[in-house]
Amino acid sequence: MTSAPAGPTTAASDTPTAGLLSDVYDDLGVRLHDGGGTLRVWSEHATELELVVFDDDDPDWIVDTVPLTAVGGGVWEATTPALRVGVTYSVRVDGPHGPGMTFNPATLLIDPYARGLSSPGIHSWRSVVVDECFDWGDVRTPATPLDRTVVYEAHVRGLTKRHPGVPAALHGTYAGVAHPAMIEHYRSLGVTAIELLPIHAFASEPRLLQLGLTNYWGYNSVGFFAPHAAYATATAQAEGPTSVLRELKGMVKLLHAAGIEVILDVVFNHTSEQGLGEPRSSFRGLDNRSYYRQAQDGTYIDVTGCGNSLDTSTDAAARLVLDSLRYWANDVQIDGFRFDLAPVLGRDRAHTFTPEHPLLQAIIEDPALEGVKMIAEPWDVGMGGWQTGGFGPGWSEWNDRYRDRVRNFWLSDIDYSRRADITPVGIGGFATRLAGSANTFSSERGPLASVNFVTAHDGFTLHDLVSYDSKRNDANGEHGRDGADTNRSFNHGFEGPTDDEGVLAARRRAMRNLLGTLLLSAGVPMLTAGDETGRTQNGNNNAYCHDSALTWYDWSLQPWQEDLRAHVEVLTRIRRENPALRPVRFAHAEKTVPGASVIDWYDEGGHTMSVEQWTDPSHRTLQYDARSTPENEAANRTLLVVHGRESDLDITLPSLEGITRFVPLWSSVDERPQSDAVPLSPGDGFTATGPSMYLFRAE
């Protein structure tokens, strides 16, 4: 049977997004109705498609086959009473041979729109029809404003695997993430959104399995609609995909009831099918030529480093991504998405990134995604793949320039100064990042386009960042070739574990300086789970393949870890209470901008910073005066003193119009946050013991 020629209808054919929004792509996947269900699958080049239905108890026993009919636009369709809740099914596809064509009518493939998946064996997958009904009650999404958002990046399994207050049956599960003990943790810590590493169904690469390892992080998607079943409780897994989905929705509901948003790390840039010749499960068998980027001879153009790259220059592939986002945002009530290797999604037919790509525009403009937070990881490994600051309005981005500058200032610069008795650069670049990275993001996008982070799942933990000069990745099975070699870290005089109290004290202060910078900077802060307590991975900066105590959150805390956590609690509260620290817009030199923070900079003597001081490598101290421009909150003003040297320095507080006192709010010098500091007056002095930070509210 031959597919009818493509002829999609559009409501607005003159718009860039018209192709992917065509109604020809509506209702793909399974739709249940009286008397069974209808399956719709897209394959532009196929000549024949067949639905395969399996026995309820034996996933390898085929009990029915139903041919699909071409209905136009590359869509194939079949209606049958065999499609019902709980049924396991696959599709088989035949088509022409030639460059880029990899059809095999014997291969059992999953439905790309399947809401449930099961795996009867390694590299073997089945689609499952699920019951999508769920009672959300009167719980609504928190809709936390972006300026009030504090993101907490975490792993479903690792976060709760060892928590003593979470029942053992819930360890490492969706239900465990929303247990009351965990909700208390998020709320007391002051985070407003938990960003989960991938929970789309994923698989471990054959290479890792052969080494006895696993793809722990989950950046190897099998399907974009089904949740990863292994993160559900044993009971839900035994009951099947409907129960897995219900447990996930229950997690979201409980977190929302507690005021915590849920952001998903989504991997649309590649799939677990990897390179040609690797395990196939879906796209390669459905229509390899249309779903994956490739040259005319069929060779893959891989801009991900993972074997293949989804080709979102085709409307069907772009629509698949958009439909997945719509499903998770509306049916599962997800509040936001972090897009792994996001430039891949914005590459055109010539494989060149453009922020005007129809998919990137559709994601921001779609009414079904209104209010959903969109965060890009703005780089991939292809030509022109580094795009920090290059996305359009409506997008926030992981700011690697922020990460690198902050690490340099507090770590590698100080390491350099110990060796050479001079620092390589001054404080100007650091100040720019502190104030919202206006040199990276346009005034139209503002400071909230910057998702600030010092660490993430990928790289050293905060503890290891201040404890190791070099990575320790031998356990990954790649002979130390994996993971970044340049970490901008500093071991403070000894590599790895030590009993030297001087080294340990310096490391603790460095962690406080890094956390203080993160949570007091303009932009959206992202804290990596475990950094609030100084979690270590023993120097492994690429622990993606370890599902073990190495990567699980250790909840047995020493006193210094309790102190560090107390600092984070204070800092998130201070951020919440002081809008001057979290401007919505950049200020303008010639007009008042509501929601902005007007900034003035002073030196250690309380005088306006000079051009020479900004560019002098030896000048590493400033006073950052930020006053809010009221829009929705009361007027507010803060003064942050930053001292980036290990030597002590006398500070004189500036004289500011209308300010009679400076109320101490926080200092990185204290091992544990203090609340009894005495207010100071303009012109008063104190000694900054470096490297350090001091925050005041100006009244």
Report H helices in 36-193: 156-160, 174-177, 180-189
Confidence of residue 689 (pLDDT cuts 50, 70, 90): very high
Topology at the third CATH level for domain 146-577: TIM Barrel (3.20.20)
Q: Does residue 1 register a pLDDT over 80?
A: no
Write down the pLDDT at residue 182.
98
Polymer length in residues for the chain:
699
Write down the pLDDT at residue 572.
98
Q: Does residue 39 register a pLDDT over 50?
A: yes
What CATH number does domain 23-128 carry, 2.60.40.10, 2.60.120.560, 3.40.47.10, 3.30.360.10? 2.60.40.10
Mean pLDDT of 271-279: 93
- Give residues with Cβ within 8 angstroms of 493, minimum separation 6: 500, 502, 503, 506
Instruction: Tell me if 393 sits within 8 A of 54, measured CB to CB.
Output: no
Distances (CA, A) of 29 to 38, 41, 444: 8, 6, 39
Q: Does residue 122 register a pLDDT over 90?
A: no
What DSSP letter does each residue of 170-200 carry, written as one string?
Answer: GTTSHHHHTSHHHHHHHHHHT--EEEES--B
Write down the pLDDT at residue 279.
86
Mean pLDDT of 307-316: 97
Catalytic residue among 273, 335, 340, 604: 340
Q: Could you confirm whether 377 is annotated as catalytic?
A: yes
Topology at the third CATH level for domain 587-698: Immunoglobulin-like (2.60.40)
pLDDT tens-digit readout, 184-233: 999 999 999 999 999 999 999 999 999 999 999 999 999 999 999 999 99
Mean pLDDT of 407-431: 95
The percent helix, strand, coil of the chain (3-state, each to 5) is: 25, 20, 50
pLDDT tens-digit readout, 385-396: 999 999 999 999
3-state SS assignment for residue 263: strand
Which residues, listed in sequence order, are joined to residue 152 by a DSSP beta bridge? 194, 527
Name the strand (E) or helix (H) holding 162: none
Q: Is the pTM of this model over 0.95?
A: yes
Mean pLDDT of 57-84: 97
**146 vs 421: which has the higher pLDDT:** 146
Q: Does residue 10 register a pLDDT over 60?
A: no
Write down the pLDDT at residue 421.
87
Write down the pLDDT at residue 12.
39
Q: Could you confirm whether 569 is annotated as catalytic?
A: no
- Distance CA(571)–CA(668), nearest Å, equals 10
Instruction: Tell me if 428 sits within 8 A of 614, measured CB to CB.
Output: yes
Do you find a cis peptide bond into 691, omega within 30 degrees of 0?
yes
Please state the separation of Cα 46 from the chain's center in Å.
Answer: 36
Q: Does residue 13 register a pLDDT over 60?
A: no
Share of the chain above pLDDT 90, in %: 95
Write down the pLDDT at residue 2.
37
Q: Does residue 502 register a pLDDT over 70?
A: yes
Write down the pLDDT at residue 14.
60
Pairing of strands 48-54, 62-67: antiparallel
On the question of a common fold for 23-128 and 146-577, the answer reads: no
- Distance CA(403)–CA(411), nearest Å, equals 12
Write down the pLDDT at residue 106.
96
Which residues, listed in sequence order, are joined to residue 164 by a DSSP beta bridge? none
DSSP state of 606: S
What DSSP letter does each residue of 235-261 carry, written as one string?
Answer: HHHHH-HHHHHHHHHHHHHHHHHTT-E
Instruction: Tell me if 196 sits within 8 A of 182, measured CB to CB.
Output: no
Confidence of residue 8 (pLDDT cuts 50, 70, 90): very low
Mean pLDDT of 108-135: 96
Rg (CA), the chain: 27
Mean pLDDT of 597-604: 98
Name the strand (E) or helix (H) holding 462: helix 462-465
pLDDT tens-digit readout, 423-437: 999 999 999 999 999
**Average pLDDT value over all residues in the chain:** 96
Q: Does residue 5 register a pLDDT over 70?
A: no
Q: Residue ranges per domain, the chain?
A: 23-128, 146-577, 587-698
Catalytic residue among 311, 377, 397, 532: 377
pLDDT tens-digit readout, 523-565: 999 999 999 999 999 999 999 999 999 999 999 999 999 999 9
Mean pLDDT of 639-654: 97
Please state the separation of Cα 312 from the chain's center in Å.
Answer: 20
Write down the pLDDT at residue 121.
86
Q: Does residue 9 register a pLDDT over 50?
A: no
